């Protein structure tokens, strides 16, 4: 078979479950098991709209949403049940297990610790609890004979700390106290200070402990809350050799992506949906030749291998411009322009998805070829913020590639897929 030709057999579920995969854009507080959320809510006396899975799916965690606000509503319930050390550890452990069960061998779990902190739970408590859960799941999985014998690549993970573009006293007990203690500062000033505080806490833990924090992120509403309000915090983590990703181009245009790269030194971009949208170039200077601006930005991203973390189902659920169809998604243009992209879940619970489902969606709707699928999968491992030396990462990626090719040959022999 011609390697550039799409084949429907490529999205065979058995094959996609077997191959090694990554999830680099994975929010802990958006990826709980629904039964766990309900159980913890009952235990902590937290009111839910329903205490049945069907009821919560009908009222909160839907297959489609009317708006981004409706999509984000679920986080008020997930964060509410995550304000104890035991809950964070359990949720982190279960998330790793759920990924392992579908063949995901590397995850980067991100969340905003300040949304979980309180007088009873410090930054260190939050990070240690997440680490304990993920590490326990890793050790259990990597004790299997196939891993110990080198027949399969081990499971690994990293943790990404998120600052918030927007936050206020309603976000958590920590933020309530923080805004109260900075009542003479303007809201953007207080957000800036909270971001810097988080960056300082993050670098302290990175430098003094073995907690595998691998990156720093900026999440939340783009419009009205620019990335340049976080220059100081990103400068702190940049000077401490921490990798950086930024949610950008999800709801705002190419200039938001440019700002993330130039002002915040972003190594990866979360979403990047509007990268090619000339209509969303808003500044007077750049609008004069929006087409050239967009092409130059895309070329810079390609040349510097700045990876785009694509979350297809999440985009479908929150972006009205897609009109419910992947046919309108710019991922095809990203692939055609040879950009480095990865496919991710964003929020397994809120988007009701898995890595395998995301890959099936993209392969089918975008007519992904075998060679393109291989590139996307391997990019996930190559562009991860691996916790370890560069040599260790290279060895790990080599093991993954060998295993991917082994699985491919196995399915070729079964006649399930054609030659990749």
Q: What is the pLDDT of residues 346-395, one digit of tens each?
A: 999 999 999 999 999 999 899 898 899 999 999 999 999 999 999 999 99
Q: Does the pLDDT at position 70 exceed 50?
A: yes
Residue 419 reports pLDDT greater than 80: no
Cα gap 164→113, rounded to integer Å: 10
pLDDT beyond 60 at 1:
no
Q: Could you tell me how far CA 166 lies from the centroid of its own chain?
A: 18
In eight-state DSSP terms, residue 277 is -
Q: Which residue has the higher pLDDT, 222 or 271?
A: 271
Q: Is the pLDDT of residue 2 over 70?
A: no
Sign of the torsion angle spanned by Cα atoms 81, 318, 343, 21:
positive
pLDDT score at 198: 98
Residue 268 CB contacts under 8 Å (≥ 6 apart), including other chains: 24, 243, 244, 245, 246, 306, 307, 308, 309, 383
Q: Is the distance from CB of 345 to CB of 313 less than 8 angstroms?
A: yes
Question: What are the structural domains of the chain?
Answer: 8-414 (3.20.20.140)
Express each pLDDT in 97-151 by its tens digit.
999 999 999 999 999 999 999 999 999 999 999 999 999 999 999 999 999 999 9
Q: What is the CB-side half-sphere exposure of residue 377 using CA atoms within 13 A?
A: 30
Q: What is the mean pLDDT of the chain?
A: 94
The yes-or-no verdict on residue 279 having pLDDT over 60 is yes
**Structure-block tokens of residue 189:** 């000033």
Backbone dihedral angles phi then psi of residue 210, each to the nearest 5 degrees: -100, 10
Give per-residue pLDDT as tens, 148-164. 999 999 999 999 999 99
């Amino acid at each position: 078979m011609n390697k550039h030709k799409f084949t429907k057999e490529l999205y065979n579920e058995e094959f996609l479950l077997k191959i090694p995969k990554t999830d680099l854009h994975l929010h802990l507080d958006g990826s709980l098991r629904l039964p766990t959320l309900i159980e913890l809510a009952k235990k902590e006396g937290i009111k839910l709209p329903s205490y049945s899975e069907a009821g919560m799916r009908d009222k909160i965690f839907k297959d489609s949403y009317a708006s981004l606000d409706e999509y984000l509503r679920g986080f008020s319930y997930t964060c509410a049940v995550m304000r104890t050390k035991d809950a964070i550890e359990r949720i982190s452990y279960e998330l790793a297990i759920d990924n392992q069960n579908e063949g995901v061998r590397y995850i980067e779990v991100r969340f905003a610790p300040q949304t979980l902190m309180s007088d009873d739970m410090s930054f260190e408590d939050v990070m240690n609890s997440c680490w304990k859960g993920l590490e326990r799941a890793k050790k259990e999985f990597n004790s299997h004979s196939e891993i110990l014998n080198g027949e399969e690549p081990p499971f690994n993970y990293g943790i990404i700390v998120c600052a918030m573009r927007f936050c206020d006293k309603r976000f958590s007990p920590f933020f309530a106290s923080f805004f109260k203690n900075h009542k003479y500062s303007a809201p953007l000033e207080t957000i800036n200070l909270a971001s810097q505080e988080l960056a300082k806490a993050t670098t302290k833990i990175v430098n003094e402990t073995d907690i595998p924090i691998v990156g720093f992120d900026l999440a939340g509403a783009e419009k009205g809350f620019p990335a340049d309000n976080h220059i100081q915090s990103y400068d702190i983590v940049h000077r401490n050799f921490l990798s950086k990703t930024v949610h950008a181009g999800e709801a705002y245009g190419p200039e938001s992506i440019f700002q993330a790269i130039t002002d915040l030194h972003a190594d990866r971009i979360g979403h990047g949906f509007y990268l090619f949208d000339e209509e969303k170039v808003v500044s007077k200077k750049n609008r004069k030749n929006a087409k050239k601006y967009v092409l130059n930005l895309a070329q810079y991203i390609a040349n510097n291998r700045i990876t785009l973390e694509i979350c297809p189902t999440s985009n479908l659920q929150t972006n009205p411009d897609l009109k419910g169809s992947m046919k309108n998604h710019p991922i095809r243009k990203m692939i055609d322009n040879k950009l480095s992209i990865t496919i991710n879940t964003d929020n397994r619970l809120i988007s009701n998805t898995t890595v395998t489902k995301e890959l099936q969606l993209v392969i089918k709707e975008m007519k992904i070829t075998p060679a393109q699928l291989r590139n996307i999968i391997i990019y996930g491992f190559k562009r991860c913020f691996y916790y370890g030396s560069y040599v260790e990462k290279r060895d790990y990626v080599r093991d993954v590639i060998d295993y991917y090719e082994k699985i491919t040959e196995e399915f070729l022999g079964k006649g399930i897929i054609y030659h990749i």
